[in-house]
Structure 1
Amino acid sequence: MRRRDLFRISTAMGLGAALPVLAEAKALPTPAAPLKPPAEGSIPVAFLLSDNAVMIDFGGPWEVFCNVSVPGRADGPVFRLYTVGATEAPITTYGGMKIVPNYSIANAPAPKVIVVPAQTVGDPAVLDWLRQASRTADLTMSVCTGAFILAHAGLLDGKSAATYHGAFKEFVMRFPRVQLKRGARFVEEGNIATAGGLSSGIDLALRVVERYFGRAVASNTAYTMEYQGQGWLDPKSNSIYAKVRRSTEQHPLCPVCDMDVDKAASASSIYRKRIYYFCMEDHKKLFDANPTNFI
C-alpha cells in the first residue's frame, strides 16, 4: 500500500457537491488552555492502531511522551503509553512491521490522551470506542490523515482541523462541516487537536507536553531527543503547504491530491479537451464522477 492510499478511509463516505474554499492557517483558533496533570500517577495515553498505521505518525509522539521528565517527580513515568486495537490480534503497519496491541477496545484502560495516526479503519466498533473514550479524555489528537478518522467519528464537526497536505481536497469534500486549516502545523480546539502530515505529530506531542507541564519541560524533552524542529512553537509553521501547486504539461500533478505523477505510467482522463493524470485509479474515479470539484 502506498502512503497516498491512506487518504481513503475504508468506511463508505459520500462526497460533497462542491469543493469548499480552503481556509488559511492565519485564522487559527485561539491557543488552547493548559491541561491539568494528575496530582500523582501517570497520564494514560492510548495509541489507536489498525492495519496500515504509519510508523512516524504514532512512533514520533510515542518517543516524545516517553522522554518527558518533570523536575521533582519520582513516581514512575510521566505518561503511561499503550496501544489499542479492534482486537488484540497483530496489526501490520504501513511498511510491514507487525505490532501486537496491548489492549483491545473491549478491555483498554480509559485514556486521558488518545493518539490517532493515519491508518485504515473499517470497523464501526472502533469509531464507537473513539467517540466514547474521547468524552472523558483530556485530549484526542490525530496525525496526518488520522484526521479523516476523527472527522468520520463526528469529533470534528463544527471545528477547525489540519491534515496531510496531499489530502486537502478530498478532506474538504468528505467533511464539509469541518473547517480545514491549510498550512497549519497543528490545530487545537477544545479537547481535540489535529496535526499535519507525518513529522507534524512530533510537534503536536511536544505542544501537548507544554500544555500539561509548561514550556521548560517541553523544551527539555526536545533537547533530550536531539529534536531541533521548532514547529511546536508555531502552529502556522506549515505555511509552505498553504501555497497551491500548479500542474503543468512538463510537471503534471494529480488533480485530486496535487502529487507528482508519471505521465507514462499513470491513468488519465480527458475533460474539456485537456488531459489529466492521476496518481492512482481511485483518484481517477473521484475526478471522473465530478471533474468540476477538482478544477
Structure 2
Amino acid sequence: MMIVVIAATNLSSENRIMNARTMNRIELVYRLTRFGFLLALGVLALSALFVTGGPVKDDHSNRNEVTTDTTSLRPPDKGKIPVAFLISDGAVVIDFCGPWEVFQDVMIPGSEEIPFRLYTVAETKKPIRTSGGMQIVPDCTIQNAPPPKVIVIPAQSAPSPAVLEWIRKSSKTTDVTMSVCTGAFVLAKTGLLNGKSATTYHGAFGRFAMQFPDVQLKRGARFVENGNLATAGGLSSGIDLALRVVERYYGREVAQKTAYNMEYQGEGWMNPDSNQTYATSLMSTAEHPLCTVCGMDVDPKIAPKSVFKGATYYFCSEDDKKTFDAAPDKFITAVAPQSAVSGSSN
C-alpha cells in the first residue's frame, strides 16, 4: 500500500510539474503573442508616420502662419453654383479672368454641363474699362444680380458705399467671398475682415497694413481662408484660390483635372504657404533704391522723393508719395518691421 501511495504521490508530483510546464508554455505563448501584436501595432504606426511625412497636424495648430479653412463645400442638389465677378473701372484682367477660366473649365464625372454659372456685376450697366483698356459690359448691376454663392473681387478702383453694402449683404449667404490681389482693399473696406487674417499683392503690404490695422496681414501667403471669406495674393494667385474653391466643392481630383486641362502647372492651390518669396521685402539702399510704398525699383534721378527724419524715401509715383506723406510715422511703423525699408541718407 505504501508503494502505491508513494507511486500515486510521485504521479501527482509529476502531473503538477507537467501542468506547471504546460501553463508556463501557454503563458509564454500568450505573452509572445501579445508582444507580437503590440510590436505589429508599433510597426504600423511607424509606417503611417513615414507615409504621411510626419505627424498629422491639427488644422488649427498654427494659425500664425496661414489661416486655412479646410471645410468642404456642398454643391446644390440641382442647378448651378452662381459666381459673381464684381468689377469696376481699372479692374485687373487676370484677377478675374484667371478665376473665370478655372470655373468654366470644371468638368464633373457623369455630367456634360459646367457646374458654375458665371456673370459680371457692377454698380451700373455702363461699360467698364479694365486696367489694360479692355471694355466689358456688365451682365448685371448690384440691384438686379442673382444672389451669388461665390463672389470674386479683383483689384479695381475704389468702391462706392453702395458696392460695399452689396458685398456685406451678399456675403451673408455666400459659400465663398474671395478677393484677388488688391481686391483685398475692397473687401477690407466692408469691415468683414476685421479681426481676421488676410493677404494681398506683395507690393501693397505696407499700404494695407497701414489702412487696415484691425486685419492681420499674412505676408508670404498664396491665399488665406477664414470661414466664407478668402483673400489671394497678387495676380495669378487668384487662379490658385479658384482651384482651391473647386477642390472644396468637388474634391482634389476634379481640381487637379481642371488644372491639367488648363495646362496650369502651378501647385499653390494645394499649398497656401507657397508665396514665401514675398514674405519679406528687399532693403532699399542708396545704390539700389526702391519705392517705399510698393517696393519696386526706382530711378533716384527722376523718382518723387520725401525726406523724413534725416532719411530720403523714393517713390514710383506721386500717388505713392502722397500716401507716405499723409502719415510717414504710421507708414514706417506698418512697413519697416516686415520689409526692412530704409531711406538713403541725403
Output the TM-score relative to the length of structure 2.
0.76
Which is greater in Rg?
Answer: 2
AA aligned opposite 2:316 = C
Q: Does 1:234 align with 2:268?
A: no
CA drift at 1:221: 0.0
Name the structure 1 match of 2:108.
70
Q: What SS does the corresponding residue of 1:115 show, helix, strand or coil?
A: strand
Alignment partner of 1:40 out of 78, 89, 99: 78
The number of residue pairs the alignment matches comes to: 271
Q: Does 1:111 align with 2:148?
A: yes
Where structure 1 has 5 or more consecutive residues not aligned to the other structure, the ranges are 1-23
Name the structure 2 match of 1:148.
185
Deviation readout 1:100-152 (Å, 9 max, x if unpaired): 00001111000100000000133211111111111111110000000000000
Name the structure 2 match of 1:277.
314
- Cα distance in 2, alignment partners of residues 179 and 112 from structure 1: 25
Asked if the contact 2:182/2:200 (under 8 Å) is kept, the reply is yes
Name the structure 1 match of 2:241.
204
- Cα distance in 1, alignment partners of residues 209 and 68 from structure 2: 22
Alignment RMSD (CA, Å):
1.5
Deviation readout 1:215-259 (Å, 9 max, x if unpaired): 000000000000000111100000000022100112101112222
- Taking the TM superposition and a 5 Å limit, the aligned residue runs for 1:170-249 are 170-249=207-286
Q: What SS does the corresponding residue of 1:263 show, helix, strand or coil?
A: coil
- Cα distance in 2, alignment partners of residues 137 and 36 from structure 1: 12
Asked if the contact 1:25/1:239 (under 8 Å) is kept, the reply is no
Name the structure 2 match of 1:125.
162
- Cα distance in 2, alignment partners of residues 30 and 133 from structure 1: 22
Asked if the contact 1:25/1:236 (under 8 Å) is kept, the reply is no
Q: What SS does the corresponding residue of 2:147 show, helix, strand or coil?
A: coil
- Cα distance in 2, alignment partners of residues 288 and 103 from structure 1: 39
- Cα distance in 2, alignment partners of residues 25 and 58 from structure 1: 28
Asked if the contact 1:25/1:182 (under 8 Å) is kept, the reply is no
Name the structure 2 match of 1:14.
none
- Cα distance in 1, alignment partners of residues 319 and 302 from structure 2: 15
- Cα distance in 2, alignment partners of residues 196 and 161 from structure 1: 9
Output the TM-score relative to the length of structure 1.
0.89
AA aligned opposite 2:279 = A
Q: Quick check: which one's helix share is greater?
A: 2
CA drift at 1:53: 0.3
Deviation readout 1:48-78 (Å, 9 max, x if unpaired): 000000000000000000000010124x321
Name the structure 2 match of 1:57.
95
- Cα distance in 1, alignment partners of residues 258 and 122 from structure 2: 28
Asked if the contact 2:125/2:137 (under 8 Å) is kept, the reply is yes
AA aligned opposite 1:42 = K
Asked if the contact 2:69/2:227 (under 8 Å) is kept, the reply is no
Where structure 2 has 5 or more consecutive residues not aligned to the other structure, the ranges are 1-61, 337-346
Query: Aligned residues: percent identity?
Result: 62
Structure ranking higher on relative contact order (CA contacts 8 Å, 6+ apart): 1
Name the structure 2 match of 1:89.
126
CA drift at 1:261: 1.1
Deviation readout 1:141-196 (Å, 9 max, x if unpaired): 00000000000011111110010000001101111111010000000110001000
Q: Does 1:136 align with 2:173?
A: yes
- Cα distance in 1, alignment partners of residues 64 and 258 from structure 2: 28
Q: What SS does the corresponding residue of 1:182 show, helix, strand or coil?
A: coil
Name the structure 2 match of 1:157.
194
Name the structure 2 match of 1:10.
none
AA aligned opposite 1:285 = K
Q: Does 1:264 align with 2:301?
A: yes
CA drift at 1:28: 1.6
- Cα distance in 2, alignment partners of residues 211 and 276 from structure 1: 44
